[in-house]
């Protein structure tokens, strides 16, 4: 039984970060590496704030955890210091809690009863508790390979090794199927490897989980583009089912602003991927912000990743632009039109490290020098409105134009869906108007025996949704291959 008064005795406390000067000098995770005793004691105090609500909004539903994480259960187990059972209950619904604990913006915390109750001191620090359970699990050797008891004799190909593909592969391997994950890159992990900077999640966290999957029997093939290096005919001949977990990496470009074609104007991933490769030891980053005036266009997660990366590369200045006005930092303004915290003003550790954020502004022109390289940006104050048909419209709010120095411009304005790939042509699978792959209620695409999950189905989204869809598609594939399935299916296709 939880302590119903815990939240009155203890205040919410986030994990402490390393000093800015120290962390921008390396690529390691930004949080302080506390000694185990201090960390465990602090996190037990945080878990004590959980009331074990009769209806735990954190746990599931439209606003809570898509995985249906058993949050009140493991909060109470942590409160009591039973890390082993907490680990078991956490892994019962989440294949990779060390990923979500580090990367998820925690819709569970937004939904927590303490977050939506005035003067309750804020949500339970669920994300911090989750990450600590996961880290303790690894430290104490509680994460062990789980081998299937019986082999089904059926073979499944998973295309893509991001969080959705890995979750599907682990679930299906444990159900007894022979699973091969194909990755076109030279290393495994998809966005977890080459999209997410080290300072958010060190790659050793990914590698130890991949080692567990290997020991369980999942096979991996890197450097293989399915549809090219392995033909669609070979894929169909060798596998009984296929899971497409190919992500939604087609970056949205700015095709209308004059000067887009100047040198020095890049999509965000053109900056992040080589920077992450450099951290893997692949040589210097391709697009280096060192000594440059960097302007990041777009106020979301990817923009924040560019921000922290540019800070570590030694940018001369960093400015992140957002067309929307600065929202309140907490949801204490009941009149706020913004959705609930933490969706308001997502501030990342990177934003403390350097530079500034500018709101309610839009770029009018990228201005270049005689060599065709961007040197300035013309900026105007704007307001975002909806027109009569509900379409988003950016309205200038001033005649005044500001000039901002800019040697490197990074467009972090979202993703437009699945990249073009011969595999989809070969399978005869069309993309939706959103650039995603649609499926039926059984996660099956228009191609029989071919399933889809994660960003490729949902559009660019949160790591927690990728894992949830990977688990659900595994249930669907298992059912397709064997007629029924005991695997959990936390979400249904949208
Ligand atoms: Fe605990 Fe918050 Fe979930 Fe209630 S909603 S069970 S207080 S984490």
pLDDT of 423? 98
pLDDT of 491? 94
pLDDT of 388? 84
Same fold, 155-249+416-482 and 265-411: yes
- What number is the average pLDDT over the span 480-492? 97
pLDDT of 345? 57
Distance from residue 52's CA to the centre of ligand 1 (Å): 6
pLDDT of 354? 86
The CB of 112 under 6 Å from ligand 1? The reply is: yes
75-129 per-position pLDDT tens digit: 999 999 999 999 999 999 999 999 999 999 898 998 999 988 888 889 999 999 9
196-237 per-position pLDDT tens digit: 999 999 999 999 999 999 999 999 999 999 999 999 999 999
Any idea which of 165-169, 368-372, 387-391 has the lowest mean pLDDT?
Answer: 387-391
Tokens at residue 11, please?
Answer: 């205040």
The CB of 2 under 6 Å from ligand 1? The reply is: no
The Cβ-side half-sphere exposure at 416, using a 13 Å CA radius, reads 10
pLDDT of 399? 87
Whether the pLDDT of residue 332 is over 80: the answer is no
Whether the pLDDT of residue 330 is over 80: the answer is no
Instruction: Indicate the average pLDDT of the chain.
Output: 93
The CB of 72 under 6 Å from ligand 1? The reply is: yes
* 335 touches 319 (CB < 8 A): no
pLDDT of 300? 87
Looking from the CA of residue 51, the nearest atom of ligand 1 is: 7
* 16 touches 35 (CB < 8 A): no
> Which residue, judged by its Cα, is nearest atom 1 of ligand 1?
50
**CATH code given to domain 265-411:** 3.50.50.60
The answer as to CATH 2.50.20.10 being correct for domain 6-139 is no
Grade residue 398 by pLDDT with cuts at 50, 70 and 90.
confident
Any idea which of 107-121, 228-242, 360-374, 467-481 has the lowest mean pLDDT?
Answer: 107-121
pLDDT of 70? 95
> What are the distances in angstroms from CA 454 to CA 120, 243, 376?
35, 10, 38
Domain residue extents for the chain: 6-139, 155-249+416-482, 265-411
Distance CA 159, CA 181 (A): 6
pLDDT of 310? 97
The CB of 116 under 6 Å from ligand 1? The reply is: no
Pairing verdict, β 241-244 and 450-452 = parallel
**CATH code given to domain 155-249+416-482:** 3.50.50.60
Say whether the ipTM exceeds 0.85: yes
pLDDT of 394? 86
């Amino acid at each position: 039984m939880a302590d119903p008064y815990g939240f009155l005795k203890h205040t919410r406390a986030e994990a402490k970060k390393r000093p800015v000067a120290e962390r921008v000098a390396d690529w390691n995770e930004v949080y302080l590496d506390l000694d185990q005793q201090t960390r465990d004691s602090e996190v037990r105090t945080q878990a004590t704030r959980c009331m074990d609500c009769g209806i735990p909004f954190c746990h599931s539903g439209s606003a809570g955890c898509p995985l249906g994480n058993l949050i009140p259960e493991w909060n109470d187990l942590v409160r009591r210091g039973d890390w082993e059972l907490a680990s078991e209950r956490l892994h019962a619904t989440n294949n990779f809690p060390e990923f979500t604990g580090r990367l998820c913006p925690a819709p569970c915390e937004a939904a927590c009863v303490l977050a939506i109750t005035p003067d309750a001191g804020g949500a339970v620090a669920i994300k911090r508790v989750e990450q600590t359970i996961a880290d303790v699990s690894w430290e104490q050797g509680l994460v062990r390979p789980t081998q299937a008891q019986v082999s089904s004799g059926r073979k499944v190909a998973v295309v893509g090794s991001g969080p959705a593909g890995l979750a599907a592969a682990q679930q299906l391997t444990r159900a007894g199927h022979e699973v091969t994950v194909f990755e076109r890159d030279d290393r495994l992990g998809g966005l977890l490897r080459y999209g997410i900077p080290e300072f958010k999640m060190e790659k050793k966290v990914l590698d130890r989980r991949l080692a567990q999957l290997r020991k369980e029997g999942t096979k991996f093939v890197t450097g293989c583009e399915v549809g090219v290096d392995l033909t669609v005919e070979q894929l169909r001949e060798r596998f009984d089912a296929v899971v497409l977990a190919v992500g939604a990496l087609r970056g949205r470009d700015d095709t209308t602003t004059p000067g887009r074609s100047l040198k020095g104007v890049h999509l965000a991933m053109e900056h992040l991927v080589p920077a992450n490769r450099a951290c893997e030891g692949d040589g210097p980053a391709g697009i280096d912000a060192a000594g440059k005036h960097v302007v990041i266009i777009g106020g979301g997660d990817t923009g924040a990743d560019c921000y922290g990366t540019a800070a570590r590369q030694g940018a001369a200045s960093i400015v992140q632009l957002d067309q929307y006005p600065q929202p309140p930092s907490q949801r204490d303004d009941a009149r706020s039109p913004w959705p609930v915290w933490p969706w308001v003003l997502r501030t990342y550790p990177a934003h403390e490290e350097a530079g500034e954020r500018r709101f309610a502004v839009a770029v009018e022109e990228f201005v270049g020098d005689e060599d065709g390289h961007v040197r300035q940006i013309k900026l105007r104050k704007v307001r975002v409105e909806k027109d009569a048909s509900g379409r988003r419209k950016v309205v200038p709010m001033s005649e005044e134009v500001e000039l901002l120095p800019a040697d490197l411009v990074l467009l972090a304005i979202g993703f437009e869906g699945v990249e073009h790939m011969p595999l989809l042509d070969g399978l005869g699978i069309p993309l939706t108007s959103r650039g995603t792959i649609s499926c039926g209620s059984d996660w099956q695409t228009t191609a029989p025996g071919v399933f889809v999950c994660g960003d490729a189905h949902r559009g660019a989204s949160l790591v927690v949704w990728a894992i949830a869809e990977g688990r659900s598609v595994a249930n669907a594939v298992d059912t397709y291959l064997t007629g029924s399935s005991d695997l959990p299916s936390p979400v249904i296709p949208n």
